Amino acid sequence: MEKIIDLKRIETILGTMIACADENGICLLEFSDRKALPTELKSISRYYNANIIQGENPHFTTLEKELTEYFEGKRSIFTVPLSPVGTAFQKKVWEILQGIPYGSTRSYQEQADILGNPKSVRAVANANGLNKISIIIPCHRVIGSNGQLTGYGGGIWRKQKLLELEKAILF
């Protein structure tokens, strides 16, 4: 039997997002104008040897409710189950990302230190960039050690808006 990954478009105040989910949880949440989106969809399809088809999934109900609450400033923690696609190292980095509290920021260096490998800054930054579940795995909370809003797949302006929404104090 062939595996199916469900896909849905979700409208947010920062633009249209594309969500994908399997039976275990959300495996993608990206802004629809992200350049890497076609590549990410292909990698999920390959990883699961599955077809991605527009359709409903019980996880979308939770996701949409929690995203709405987040954008209204009423939710700081997500409970929707995730099913991230990546290497063991990437998953570890994404786990650490999820540990950054709402309204806080960390540098790539601090992320590498928490990982227990201070020299892995570049690998950590790379894994951050490959995160396919934006907002819930909050890569927008990672900034350059100089306080700069460095690269964000959804666009620097969105990163800024997300941090403003969370009232993060940028140093």
**Residues acting as catalytic residues:** 139
21 by DSSP, 3-state: which? strand
- Residue written as token pair 């350059």: 144
What is the chain's percent helix, strand, coil content, to nearest 5? 40, 20, 40
What is the C-alpha to C-alpha distance for residues 66 and 149, in angstroms, rounded to an integer?
25
Inter-residue contact 103 to 167 (CB < 8 Å):
yes
